[in-house]
Amino acid sequence: MSRSERLLDLLQVLRRYRQPVSGQRLAEETGVSLRTLYRDIASLQAQGADIEGEPGLGYVLKPGFMLPPMMFSAEEIEALVLGSRWVSKRTDDDLAGAAANALAKIAAVLPAELREELDSSTLLVGPSPPATNGIDIAALRRAIRNERKVELDYVDNDGSATQRTVWPFALGFFENVRMVMAWCELRLDFRHFRADRMQKMTVTEARYPRRRQVLMKDWRSSQNMAASKRETVGS
């Protein structure tokens, strides 16, 4: 690996962390000695990278520092193309268009040889039966983004119809099913709702009282606790 590639790799690793990370951890992830790591950080700082920290305290790359898109590796370009193609076939029309636009913006600033890599990618997404949705998925995504309460007419697995007011905070895209993660005011707990079982959806003007990031964190904790209980019972 050349020195320039090593420095770019270090920047990519730093971008994954929001809190200071130790030099030893960075050295292990980039495959260099701690002494080399310190030299590389000093080089990046001299070149304008806004890296804060020092030995013993850890390092963090401040938000806002952008890597030029021309530095994408071949694997990163393949990942972008494959992801864009998956989104165009597996999500709603708005997201599909957004994925195509994002890829076009990236292509516009790539050097010729990397643009050719993007245009000629041979990673394909196979066909699959279209997901059945009872509601407008794009409207649901906007409700999640804006943290709005949603009223649902929902049919559960047993065929029972219920009306729910929920706080949607995440949307899972499975092969043929869209799953909504939400806090249910009826059950006073987290629940999962299949989009194809939603008979009607009304996005209200009421914002739910907790941020979606907090709901997501609490939901993950509840899922981990449930998994631990299942492992305890099964052991």
HEC-encoded secondary structure of 41-104: HHHHHHCCCCEEEECCCEEEECCCCCCCHHHCCHHHHHHHHHHHHHHHHHCCHHHHHHHHHHHH
Task: Report CA-CA distances (Å) from 16 to 26, 73, 104, 117.
Answer: 11, 17, 25, 25
Whether the pLDDT of residue 133 is over 80: the answer is no
Rounded to whole angstroms, the Cα distance separating 38 from 14 reads 13
Residue with the bigger pLDDT between 82 and 229: it is 82
pLDDT of residue 83: 92
pLDDT digits (tens, 9 = 90+) for 28-56: 999 999 999 999 999 888 878 889 998 88
Query: Residue 179 corresponds to which amino acid?
Result: M
pLDDT, tens digit (0-9, with 9 covering 90-100), for 205-215: 999 999 999 99
- The least confident of 11-20, 150-159, 183-192, 211-220 is 11-20
Q: Is the pLDDT of residue 110 over 60?
A: yes
Structural domain boundaries of the chain? 3-61, 70-119, 137-234
CATH topology of domain 3-61: Arc Repressor Mutant, subunit A (1.10.10)
Nearest by Cα to 216 from 146, 169, 155, 167 = 169
Under a CB-based contact definition with an 8 Å cutoff, are residues 166 and 185 in contact?
yes
CA–CA separation, 188 and 148 (whole Å): 17
pTM given for the model: 0.67
26 contact partners, CB below 8 Å, separation of at least 6: 10, 13, 14, 37, 41, 59
Predicted pLDDT at 50 = 87
Q: Which DSSP symbol is given to 195?
A: G
